[in-house]
Structure 1
Amino acid sequence: MSSPTPDDRARQVRRVDPQRRDRIIDACLDVIAAHAVAGTSHRKVAAAADVPLGSMTYHFDGMEGLLQAAFARFADSVADQFDRRLAAAADRAEAELAVATLITTDVFRTQRDVVLTHELYTLAARDPEFRRLTEQWMARSRAALERHFDPVTARVLDALIEGLTIHRALDRTSYADGEVLAGVRRVTRG
């Protein structure tokens, strides 16, 4: 019987890693937050995920496929927060407070969230595939809002949430929490 060769030993040591694809997606979001989409590469993502470079092409059809998976995960996480927040509201007044809390606390909790959102918006402005992703995200947000508000109000609230969260993230003289709730009530109560 012959001794195993180095190649045989390498094959035997091959690691089973069922979470590898998820780690790559999470690492991609981190790399985008740090370097923007333009500075994101398979090599940087593989290093951040601590996976072999070959894993990138095994799990994704190129960079666009990876970016779509990463941004879909990000959009789903934000939409899930909308769902949870609005599902917990028992009545319209609680729903108004939930919307204000989304603006003041949940959306753009970190600078990372700000960067990821704007990177996705930039891609969506140029690429129909990413525009579809943002449209699905908006549809989920509006569906959550429509638990408590009519479709027209839900659409306006969705735009208010987007606008106020951007202002709160980028403007040094941001709206106070009470002003946000007052603005939400102006929209919902006419």
Structure 2
Amino acid sequence: MTTGATGEQDRPVRRHDPDRRQRIVEATVEVIAEHGVAGTTHRLIAAAADVPLGSLTYHFTGLEDLRAQAFALHAERMAVRYEAHFAEVGSTEDVVEAVTELVHADADADDRDWTVAYELYTAALRDPALRTVTESWMRRSRGVLERFVDPTTSRGLDALIEGLVMHKVLSTRPVPRAETREIIARAVRPTNSQEDPR
């Protein structure tokens, strides 16, 4: 077999590869985590997915399309974890504990997850088309919280969770759990005078 300049002929041919498209999207998430949006290229994605470079242009309209689908996949995975975290929550007290735990577990995500999330936020500032991904993600988060609090409180609590996690992830010192719990408790404390204020 003759080897081309790129060495692609050395790669085994996948005659039946029904998962190729999905594998490319997942590889794009990993490349963004490793190199950031600015450093993400077709060649890096193809190498990470172990596919010929031409597969990317066959399945996707371009790098922007790939990035958007990768971010959508990442947001979906994060949203599923978020929803699962509140599966056993019932009372307002449970909400306070669940949110405190969520913050101190970095929203059940690791550093790579948050690297991709922050890359998405920055990219969405520059590319309004990506705001459909961020808006959908935020809407799902608020929907979970609205099972326990009113919509206005839900919006504020969702933003508070995001900010508290960001502060914790980026902090060089431990963040006191008791302090986090008090902040959350103040945010969800009932305002109806007939409800128990504790």
Q: TM exceeds 0.5?
A: yes
RMSD: 1.5
Runs of 4+ in 1 over 4 A off after TM superposition: none
TM norm structure 1: 0.88
CA contact (8 A) 1:167 1:174 kept: no
Q: Equivalents in 1 of 2:106, 2:71: separation in Å?
A: 18
Deviations 1:122-181, CA, capped at 9 Å, x for gaps:
111111111121111110100011011111111111111111111111111242222222
> Which residue of 1 is the match for residue 57 of structure 2?
57
Identify the structure with the greater helix proportion: 1
TM norm structure 2: 0.85
1:1-190 equivalent positions in 2, closer than 5 A: 14-107=14-107, 109-189=109-189
Give 3-state SS (helix, strand or coil) of 1:87's partner. coil
- Alignment length, in residue pairs? 178
AA partner of residue 122 (structure 1):
T
Larger mean Cα displacement after TM superposition, 108-117 or 52-61: 108-117
AA partner of residue 17 (structure 2):
D
Deviations 1:17-64, CA, capped at 9 Å, x for gaps:
122112111111111111110100111001011111111112111001
The Cα of 1:100 is off from its aligned counterpart by 1.5
Deviations 1:4-25, CA, capped at 9 Å, x for gaps:
xxxxxxxxx6521122112111
Give 3-state SS (helix, strand or coil) of 2:89's partner. coil
CA contact (8 A) 1:24 1:49 kept: yes
> Which residue of 2 is the match for residue 8 of structure 1?
none
Give 3-state SS (helix, strand or coil) of 2:65's partner. helix
Q: Equivalents in 1 of 2:22, 2:100: separation in Å?
A: 32
Deviations 1:51-98, CA, capped at 9 Å, x for gaps:
111111121110011101100011111111121112221222212211
Q: Percent identity?
A: 48
